[in-house]
Structure 1
Amino acid sequence: MGVSDDLTMAAGHVAGLRRAVTALSKDLGNTIDVQRLRDDVVRLADDVDLVARAAGVGSQDRAGGPGEIVFITDDEYDPSLWSDAEDEGVGPSRNH
């Protein structure tokens, strides 16, 4: 079996998982555990797609290439971006 066949089979299994989780969601409701499972299946689908693109057999429609590094400058941000932000674990600033 070639890489393309393996990836097709993996994508098919992920699609089967997606259908099973959808059925579970209908049976059990949208519980936190079902939501986490659904998110895991989405992550698996994304990972299979990333591997396929890296192997040159996947869709190249998405932005950025595999392993592409995006540089973010260390320039100062406009302080107004953070004016309504809260410090994690501390809460909002009290000097309003």
Structure 2
Amino acid sequence: MSVHDELTSVQRSLDDLLRSLGRLEKQLGTGGLEMRRVRADANHLRESLALLREAAASPAAPKRPELVTISDAPYDPSLWIDSDDEGLGARDRRAP
């Protein structure tokens, strides 16, 4: 099966789930915490499936991040004048 067919199958199953939840809500009511939670989870599944469809529709090759060249030259020491050495305390104080 192709990805499109699989996504369509999942969409049909999700539609069936949502219809079943609607019938269940009519019997149990929508006010209970459990029912609201199941409805929220079903809605999250619907949103996730929509995102998955979008991702599958544009099969772009994964892009490699752009490489950034880092110079081997030492940093300017004035950048560190106002900072403390991490974990060692301030320069003019002794560690406990």
> Normalised by the shorter chain, which TM-score bucket?
0.5 to 0.7
Match of 1:6 in 2: 6
Q: 2:24 corresponds to which letter in structure 1? A: L
Structure 2 counterpart SS, 1:55? helix
Where does residue 41 of structure 1 map in the other structure?
42
Q: Distance between the aligned counterparts of 1:39 and 1:12, measured in 2?
A: 18
Q: Deviations over 1:49-77 (max 9, x none)?
A: 111100117xxxxxxxxxxxxxxxxxxxx
| Residue matched to 1:60 | none
5+ unaligned residues in a row in structure 1: which ranges?
Answer: 58-96
Q: Flag as ranges the 4+ runs of structure 1 deviating above 3 A.
A: none
Q: TM-score, normalised by structure 1?
A: 0.57
Amino-acid identity (%): 32
TM-score under structure 2 normalisation? 0.57
Distance 1:23 1:49 in 2: 24
Matched positions, count = 57
Equivalent residues in 2 for 1:1-96 (5 A)? 1-30=1-30, 31-56=32-57
Higher normalized contact order (CA 8 Å, seq sep 6+, divided by chain length): 2
